[in-house]
Structure 1
């Protein structure tokens, strides 16, 4: 990720503090201009291969608040309003998705000392008998740029995505990213062919794997406490429900598994 021109790439998604850092440093009279000129660019790797075009920071930020019995949202640079009754219906649907029993029998503990996300995914792949595809990007016809199919792939068509997010906004973006990759692999034959090539590069036989997702497990780790339905922005909950229904119509089951990343 790079948040502004000449800013060196940083791991992960930008935080609010990182985005506002150049604004705070600007003279007061120039802060609005500085904010309006900021953009986020997602990179595939440290060599600065682009995974997205420039996205204005004002369209990256999300915010929600309750006022006078309604929910107000800042999303995609625009304000929206939602009646509380509908918001509660959306929340109940999200809770139901969180409460689904995970198809994974167990997950390894993730501690600060055990390593980064790649190290955790390698341990998870070993435990589940899966194939670690973290940072292995595939190309499809229906989406510009390349995407990760998943972090760990099981032979029965279980696609596992592992994300570490300590705040609502990164969790929301990462959740959407995982669901988009599932949709692409469900509809895009070229993406599945690209996935088969990645499996072969890992020394495995693509014929042993289901290339079209049958179930998707999204493991979201948060330091010190479990992520829950209320940790996601309501707009993200709406999109999660829509994606869940769309994937269910293609016989793809979605599971959210929150875990704690322990500071030890």
Structure 2
């Protein structure tokens, strides 16, 4: 091998080593939506993971900074599962912007993560809404293989939910893994759904069963907003989770059977008529 080829090989190896070192330091930071009652404490949460191809190892021992509406609320260190938590108290009702950043002293680098804090009276009636085949005309598998622009909402879903949000709190609870958090929120915003908290499934932290996951998630949410009374979904697992939490159920998809506290509808127009008493 002549000197020129040796030099080329050295440069290639140097570049590869540089890219590998950068990949080792690249991380993904995720911030999560929260709900709270005025004057009560809320636990803000975020998670830091490495970005290594399809793997996402948790990053522990890293300092994260939390901001609400650009005000520094404090810092917290990620635990063994990559999570960092920070308690704070929200005084007045409203929707507040949460921003989380990795310390500039960290060996890892990541984009800033954002989420929202929804503060409302605990007695206000609240609706839980599924996403796939409930507001999005797509299956879970179809969603992860398509761009947002190719996923359409079910007819009238954005408009009906916007109207319902004047009377009810809305919460989206989905079995989608939180790796799709940003994509899902962008889709909801694109089609003008109401600004509402979205709660995702996380591998390793919730049951694999959709019914068990949603039941557990809703049970925790009801400890904060007491009047979560209606659930809208399209699957039997949705019905199971909602009924376990003592909720009235609206299931999209007509069926020739009668289940106590379950209403079967064909579309969102029927849902609107049902909840607006038409």
TM-score category of the 2 structures, normalised to the smaller one: under 0.3
More strand by share: 2
Higher RCO (CA 8 Å, separation ≥ 6 residues): 1
More helix by share: 1
When Rg is computed on C-alpha atoms for both structures, the one with the higher figure is 2
* TM-score when normalising by structure 2: 0.25
